Amino acid sequence: MNMNFFMPTKVIYGKGAVLKNREILRSLGEHFLVITGKSSMKNGSLDDVLEALEGKYVRIYDTTPENPPIELIPEICSEFTDTTDIDVVIGLGGGSPMDTAKAVAVLLDNPQLNVRDLYDATKYTSAKKIVCIPTTAGTGSEVTQFSVLTVDGRKMGFSNNKCTFPTIAFVDYSYTITMGRELTISTALDALSHAMEGYISLNATPLTDVLAMEAMKNIKEFLPRLLDDPESEYYRERIMFASMLAGMVIAQTSTTVAHALGYNLTTDKGIKHGLATAIFLPFELRNANTEKAETVKALFDGSLYRFYEDIGIKLNIDISDDDIEKWVKIVSTASHIRSTPGNYDIDTLTEAFKEVRDMFCSE
């Protein structure tokens, strides 16, 4: 057996992780920039970070939008560099603040770069220290090297194994308890997509398979129960655990075609990322036509569509033939196709979008 596994992030996992381990966070530097959104004030995570960093120099950027545009990165950098030199950038929230933090950490450390150079990993090798603290359960960004930004209306990921993995991830499920039903579903489905895509990926290894299978089993078993009992700490913890495992999977395998397909529904129709991606998984599994895809189908009792029906997924959007034609062109050049089993020519991609329209957009 030959394989590589690289995940250099220190994971500090458990309820109260930030405050119980405040000395580890404090030891990273003197000047901290916290990148977050509004929800970190409601779920208690920002209070914990500020308490942990008492006496340190802390600046806060708290208006990170969903699907952050690339233009935001230099704006944040110029807003926070004139007062002091930042040592640590903390991404606190869902995927958007964490991915923004990674990009800001690179650009602050490499002020000579044009922001689009983030996508050329040969142009930089360093970043400010990155700390990620997820407050949703799904993105897994706290244990990956990836940052996904919106570039010219398209979601595009960059990464650099030398410097974009977080130094530390503090993973505390208790921040997710206040999430509403819709966000709980869409983020958990992102984790499911990471696990499933990673499991059937041509880049999968026996080690990523173990992590992916454990993540899928947890989501299959505990997401429906969590939706019936949203304040259950035990179910919240199971989904957070699955999300982190699935993040470790894609840090090795990358995502596959369902992510490339789903990005279009997010940028053009405003569908949340995890939901937009997961609806393509049944098609991807069938088109893969591999033994591993059959294993996944069996885990979901033969039909992922039934699982989606049980948790109540529906899209309130119209998809036109013109939309599909435009999206197929975009996906046909996506790197994700190379690691996805099965053929993905123009006809197959068109079929994928039409199937999703038939299954989720009908009256």
Structural tokens at position 162: 């030398």
Q: Give the per-residue contact string, 142-181, with Fe ion (x = CB under 5 A; - = no).
A: ----------------------------------------
Q: How far is the CB of 193 from Fe ion (least distance, A)?
A: 6
The DSSP H or E segment spanning 12 is strand 10-13
Q: Which is nearer to Fe ion, 226 or 246 (CB)?
A: 246
Q: Which is nearer to Fe ion, 190 or 209 (CB)?
A: 190
Q: How many CB atoms lie within 10 A of CB 63?
A: 11
Q: What is the dihedral of CA 300, 303, 306, 308, to 10 degrees?
A: 70
Residues contacting Fe ion: total by CB under 5 A: 1
> Rg (Cα) of the chain, in Å, rounded?
20
Q: How far is the CB of 220 from Fe ion (least distance, A)?
A: 18
Question: In the β-sheet with 129-134, what is the strand arrangement from edge to edge?
Answer: 10-13, 168-171, 129-134, 88-93, 31-36, 57-61
Binding window for Fe ion (CB under 5 A); candidates: 80-88, 190-198, 203-211, 323-331 = 190-198
Q: CA 236, 237, 242 angle in degrees (round to 5)?
A: 100
The DSSP H or E segment spanning 291 is helix 291-299
Q: CA 27, 30, 35 angle in degrees (round to 5)?
A: 95
Binding window for Fe ion (CB under 5 A); candidates: 83-91, 188-196, 204-212, 345-353 = 188-196
Amino acid (one-letter) located at 4: N
Q: Is residue 99 at the binding interface for Fe ion, with CB under 5 A as the rule?
A: no
Bridge-based pairing of strands 129-134 and 57-61 is unpaired
Residues whose CB is less than 8 angstroms from the CB of residue 3 and which lie 6 or more positions away in sequence, other chains included: 205, 206, 207
Binding window for Fe ion (CB under 5 A); candidates: 187-195, 280-288, 327-335, 337-345 = 187-195
Give the CA distances from residue 354 to residues 161, 264, 272, 276, 331, in Å, rounded to whole numbers and listed in that order.
Answer: 36, 14, 19, 14, 14
190, 197, 209, 284: which one binds Fe ion (CB under 5 A)? 190
Pick the closest to residue 353 from 289, 292, 268, 246 (CA basis): 268
Q: How far is the CB of 99 from Fe ion (least distance, A)?
A: 10
Q: Give the per-residue contact string, 279-298, with Fe ion (x = CB under 5 A; - = no).
A: --------------------
Q: How far is the CB of 169 from Fe ion (least distance, A)?
A: 16
Residue number, nearest CB to Fe ion: 190
Q: Which is nearer to Fe ion, 190 or 237 (CB)?
A: 190
Binding window for Fe ion (CB under 5 A); candidates: 116-124, 189-197, 241-249, 302-310 = 189-197
Q: Which is nearer to Fe ion, 28 or 196 (CB)?
A: 196
Structural tokens at position 2: 């030959």
Q: How far is the CB of 5 from Fe ion (least distance, A)?
A: 20
Q: Which is nearer to Fe ion, 172 or 190 (CB)?
A: 190
Q: Which is nearer to Fe ion, 167 or 277 (CB)?
A: 277
Q: Give the per-residue contact string, 312-341, with Fe ion (x = CB under 5 A; - = no).
A: ------------------------------
Residues whose CB is less than 8 angstroms from the CB of residue 205 and which lie 6 or more positions away in sequence, other chains included: 3, 4, 5, 252, 253
Bridge-based pairing of strands 31-36 and 88-93 is parallel
Binding window for Fe ion (CB under 5 A); candidates: 46-54, 166-174, 184-192, 207-215 = 184-192
Binding site for Fe ion (CB under 5 A): 190
